[in-house]
Amino acid sequence: MNGEIEPETSSSWLGLDGRGVLIAGAGGIGSACAKAFIGGGARIVLVDQDQARLEATTKEIHGPCKAIVADLSVATSARMAVKQATEVLGEIDIFIHCVGINQRKPVLDVSEDDWTKVLRINLDSAFWLAQSVGRSMVERGFGRIIILSSVSGLLAHPDHAPYAASKGAINQMMRVMAREWAPFGVTVNAIAPGYTETDLTMDYLERDGNRAKLQKMVPVGRLGTTQELTGPALFLASPHSSFITGHVLYVDGGRTLV
């Protein structure tokens, strides 16, 4: 299934029937995306380093979904995962990067290990996976790449230096990929969520009244849900977004307005 599908000629409004989707990261947001894309008629390969998490997610999904275990912070493993996913899907039409960690520490306490770990998992994995997937998409003349950024790529949250650096870098990396690959039918965009309840944020939200403090900073008055990220991801993967590339879509209840 090469090339663009016109929305009006697709059998469903989303135009995702039969599309091959690689989702890196089977956590809260990656799993929600996997379920939403299966619901939209796509075929999925999920990659994560956590086998138990992959098993739990694939059990909940009723549809074509295969799992691959890999440490995606290592370039060779990331490339191998793309190769294996391509063997399963035939072609990867859509790639969604949902891998990430955070280490909340003041700048003066960040160690070399902290810095390297966050940058390798958040940024290196996105670069090596997108490069590998992008190579085939450019050759075929079609592709959709969506990378999970964060409001931290724009705002200066204390205790977030490595995480914020990784997300700011993702935004710029995404823009360069978008510019280079636009002539080849490949769009590259980022989704930047505000605080959303997943394993990434759960412990922090439960401590020291953090949830209430953070909710007050969101004009909508609450935190986001993973389901509120799947609509934007489906849209950016669909034929309806064919003229949108290099964009950071904030899904944050207005957090970046404050």
Q: Which helix (H) or strand (E) holds 21?
A: strand 20-24
99 near ligand NAD, judged by CB under 6 A: yes
- Mark whether 163 is an active-site residue: yes
Q: Which helix (H) or strand (E) holds 187?
A: strand 186-193
Closest CA to 145 of 118, 181, 121: 181
Specify the DSSP class assigned to residue 94. E
Buried b (16+ CB within 10 A) or exposed e, 170-207: bbebbbebbeebeeebbbbbbbbbbbbebebbeeebee
Residue selected from 195, 232, 238, 253 as contacting ligand NAD according to rule CB under 6 A: 195
206 near ligand NAD, judged by CB under 6 A: no
Interface residues for ligand NAD in 22-41 (CB under 6 A)?
25-30
Tokens of residue 148, six digits: 């999970």
Nearest to ligand NAD of 99, 186 (CB atom)? 99
- Collapsing DSSP to helix, strand or coil, 148 comes out as strand
Specify the DSSP class assigned to residue 31. H
Residues of the chain by 3-state class (helix, strand, coil), percent to 5: 50, 15, 35
Interface residues for ligand NAD in 40-79 (CB under 6 A)?
48-50, 53, 71-73
Q: How far apart are CA 18 and CA 27, in angstroms?
A: 23
Interface residues for ligand NAD in 109-148 (CB under 6 A)?
121, 148
Report the nearest approach of ligand NAD to the CB of residue 176 (Å): 19
Nearest to ligand NAD of 15, 27 (CB atom)? 27
Nearest to ligand NAD of 121, 173 (CB atom)? 121
193 near ligand NAD, judged by CB under 6 A: yes
Report the nearest approach of ligand NAD to the CB of residue 97 (Å): 7
Q: Which stretch binds ligand NAD (CB under 6 A): 13-21, 58-66, 84-92, 195-203?
A: 195-203
Distance from chain centroid for Cα 14? 19
Tokens of residue 174, six digits: 């995404």
Report the nearest approach of ligand NAD to the CB of residue 183 (Å): 28
Residue selected from 199, 206, 213, 221 as contacting ligand NAD according to rule CB under 6 A: 199
Report the nearest approach of ligand NAD to the CB of residue 17 (Å): 26
* Residues making contact with ligand NAD (CB under 6 A): 25-30, 48-50, 53, 71-73, 98-101, 121, 148, 150, 193, 195-196, 198-201
Give the catalytic positions in this structure: 163
